[in-house]
Amino acid sequence: MINGANFLSAFGGAVLLGFFGRKTLMVTMQFACIIGMIGMWIFSSFIESDTVMYILVIGFIVAFEFGPGPIVWLYISEICND
């Protein structure tokens, strides 16, 4: 399930990049990744709920693939050229 979410969200990130642009996706999805990480910390440390943790992990992966995952490589290719 997690691998499938990763695979499908990689294609979704490419589609959303054409609609919203790099900066918008990077900022909003980085915020979603932060919220996901805080949620995973809360549900792993204080509240024992495997179902919510599973949903948060998939949500983090999807947010990462929509934002910081592919967009960083676009910025690196523009900054680090010969």
Indicate the number of domains in the chain: 1
* Domain range enclosing 75: 2-79
**Tens place of pLDDT per residue across the chain (82 aa):** 888 888 888 888 778 878 888 888 888 999 999 999 999 999 888 888 888 999 999 999 999 988 888 777 777 777 877 6
- And the tokens for 52? 């919510």
The DSSP secondary-structure symbol of 47 reads -
CA distances from 70 to 17, 40, 52, 57 (A): 9, 23, 26, 18
Q: How far apart are CA 68 and CA 70, in angstroms?
A: 6
The overall pTM is greater than 0.85: no
